[in-house]
Amino acid sequence: PVKVKKIGIMKKIISAPRGTTDILPEEAILWQFMENEARRQFFSYGYQEIRTPMFEETELFARSMGQTSDIVQKQMLNLAAQGVDAATDSSLSLRPEGTAAIVRSYIENNLDKRERLSKFFYIAPMFRGERPQKGRLRQFHQIGVEAIGPDSTSPYLDAEIISLSVLLLQKLGVNDFILKLNTLGTIEDKNNFSQYLRKQIGSRVSDLCPDCQNRYERNVFRVLDCKNKSCKEIVKDLELNYSYLSETSRRYYESVKAALDSLGIVYHQQPDLVRGLDYYTHTVFELSCNRLGSQDALGAGGRYNHLVQELGGPEVGAVGFALGMERIILARPPEEIPKSKIQVYVIALGERFFPRAFQLLQLLRENKIAADMNFSDAGLKSQMRQANKSGADFVMMIGEEEFINGMATVKNMSNGSQEQISLDKIQDFINERKA
């Protein structure tokens, strides 16, 4: 329900929907910094941006993430169909994550015909109908990558993706996080693993929470993620020794670890890390920061060798990850990012001089000199105060004398020096400062 506050004559104030936030200009500086840093890093690893729609057919998510995943069962934000759409029976949902849509696009656009390995990145809002709390929103933002194609099945690519996620977190200012690593092996290994788990849990099924008793049958891996105390106790006692892995899968995992070792990337092996989604095979990993409390996952990823085929595409493998931007902000020290400021503040000393000052302002802006002006008739003192606040390097003033002589008084705000420049010569001023 929309929260409604009442004021004076009963005008409603409408708040942002539950679990969403506004990013105000002073916060947006940090977001821009993060996005720029991420883009730089992605390009240096050879990843290109892909943008897919914010909503897709609901079936896409159900088929990719698995019917038993929490996201599909409880968190899909469906769009109410209206008009033309109401007549069709397809249901639409806001995207809860990036992978499914990118795979859909990969298949639809026949991208496998273009290159042997497609490396994508995205920086985009995601939507899940969760109960909001610290670090958990209904609209949140992810930075992620997917590497898809016939040439994607090298353990070095798993290591590349992991190293990219680690480097990215470091570049974004997060220093105290850990990398948890595991392997699930092939689909056959996963089947063995789930049988092994059922056997290990064995007679203790009835001690599992009611949800997990259900999961025991339908998707036993999810028991490993359960936050319930009695389930955690049981999971703690399990002996997870990789005996359920085939020799090939074991070797694959060893190669991933060797590649990480060669880069000096520290990881913690965690045999009970399985991730909540059906599509993972082989490598899975998670990056977490224990200072964040219950929502401590900064990001996660892994390999998904069958999803493209599952969704009707060619038989090609893939690997990817997603980091949550809001969580990264919570995990990084609150260091200030310098805000971009204007270079020139234009002052007109009286409304009569507005037209000329306005033209000067335009000339500066057209030449990519960041410039601003206050369109009020305030006095010199008040306008100088604003100029100071803006952080401008220069002030250009036009008053009576300047107007008559076709000049502007230019004040250098860092040393206080002042000179008059003919308006014809402003171009020289601009040329000296152009990047």
Give residues in contact with ligand AMP (CB under 6 A): 97, 128, 130, 135-137, 140, 142, 297-300, 322, 324, 326-327
CA 407, CA 409: separation in Å to the nearest integer?
7
For residues 140 and 216, which CB has a smaller minimum distance to ligand AMP in the complex? 140
For residues 124 and 212, which CB has a smaller minimum distance to ligand AMP in the complex? 124
Provide the CB-side half-sphere exposure for 25 (13 A, CA).
3
Straight-line distance from the first to the last Cα atom of the chain, in angstroms, rounded to the nearest whole number = 50
Considering only CA atoms, which of 341, 356, 433, 347 is closest in space to residue 397?
347
The single residue listed with the structure tokens 């008739």 is 377
Q: How far is the CB of 85 from ligand AMP (least distance, A)?
A: 26
For residues 107 and 289, which CB has a smaller minimum distance to ligand AMP in the complex? 289
Q: How far is the CB of 130 from ligand AMP (least distance, A)?
A: 5
CA 247, CA 324: separation in Å to the nearest integer?
35
Q: How far is the CB of 4 from ligand AMP (least distance, A)?
A: 25
Residue nearest to ligand AMP (CB): 324
The single residue listed with the structure tokens 């990084």 is 332
Q: How far is the CB of 121 from ligand AMP (least distance, A)?
A: 15
b/e 295-308 (16+ beta carbons within 10 angstroms → b): bbbbbbbbbbbbbb
Q: How far is the CB of 237 from ligand AMP (least distance, A)?
A: 26
**Other C-beta atoms lying within 10 Å of the C-beta of residue 385:** 12
List C-alpha distances in Å: 133 to 19, 72, 327, 331, 415.
8, 20, 12, 16, 49
For residues 159 and 328, which CB has a smaller minimum distance to ligand AMP in the complex? 328
Q: How far is the CB of 429 from ligand AMP (least distance, A)?
A: 47
DSSP letters of 123-165?
EEEEE--PPPBTTB-SEEEEEEEEEEEGGG--HHHHHHHHHHH
For residues 149 and 324, which CB has a smaller minimum distance to ligand AMP in the complex? 324
Q: Residue 110 — left, alpha, or beta (φ > 0 → left; ψ -120 to 50 → alpha)?
A: left
The 371-373 sheet, strands edge to edge: 371-373, 344-348, 394-398, 407-412, 418-422
Q: How far is the CB of 142 from ligand AMP (least distance, A)?
A: 5
Q: Are 93 and 58 in contact (CB under 8 A)?
A: yes
For residues 104 and 411, which CB has a smaller minimum distance to ligand AMP in the complex? 104
Q: How far is the CB of 188 from ligand AMP (least distance, A)?
A: 25
Q: How far is the CB of 28 from ligand AMP (least distance, A)?
A: 18
CA 94, CA 166: separation in Å to the nearest integer?
28
DSSP letters of 33-61?
HHHHHHHHHHHHTT-EE----SEEEHHHH
For residues 122 and 140, which CB has a smaller minimum distance to ligand AMP in the complex? 140
For residues 140 and 429, which CB has a smaller minimum distance to ligand AMP in the complex? 140
| 66 phi and psi angles, rounded to 5 deg | 100, 135
Considering only CA atoms, which of 142, 137, 68, 73 is closest in space to residue 101?
142
For residues 66 and 299, which CB has a smaller minimum distance to ligand AMP in the complex? 299
For residues 138 and 306, which CB has a smaller minimum distance to ligand AMP in the complex? 138
